[in-house]
Structure 1
């Protein structure tokens, strides 16, 4: 693994990220920014968050999806964590070192609007928009994403391939 910069305190945690796919083959992405680092610009990010002590990735996936989007799904709609990665980035005056698993969540209908009522205040500030993206548009996009390799790995992930992504120093 790349040596982490010693610029900020490090917060290490396990995280689940979600590729939420609707019946129209679109995935949900949040338009995001880091207010403490405006030089990073804006990017599109997969929903997800920390796995709390005592939680499984499945518990965290269902909870995070509900908190961040208002979407409620049973655990059976959450796929296996077939994409694994470790990444580091700056966020709110700390450096997050995250051990992430990525799971697919299949919705039975078209993607709904996002209900942000369950979000933390910092999430309401950071996530300023959302979009249901057609998969082909994500794959072809030149916009910035977190994880950075979403366009390059999405098709393989959705095809069920096991992915162990190298360490990513995102910011």
Structure 2
């Protein structure tokens, strides 16, 4: 019984799905995006993939849509920080570009998130406030300035993917097809 509950909990994240596919021998390779500007994909996702022994390569965020267009990608799995009542999702910046690339390439775009991420009180993605994290994260890297002094920046932490670009939303208890 405990094992089944753990498996259901694990499947609530995109990496949980990747782990399950890997354990079943159905995973050829993961292309993990670096996730700028804080590089969570490069630092954390690749670490988790290496720990589970899943074959993977790291990809620059902006290369994702290009690689989708070239073919050879079977699906895009992505998490969500919030899901509006209508199925629009908010996730790390760059998610919308991947959804557009997936749509154009005819590749399924699947959001994997806990049921608790669904916010029935937020009607659409247009009602989700997007945080701007300020210039510091992108004009410098780990405290070293890379942009000229005086350069300002726009740094949205998230973007919203409209439901019509989403093939399915997978939670621990159901699959939703917006």
What TM-score do you get using the length of structure 2 for normalisation? 0.29
Determine which structure has the larger helix proportion and give its number.
2
Larger radius of gyration: 2
Q: Which has the higher strand share?
A: 1
TM-score by length of 1: 0.29
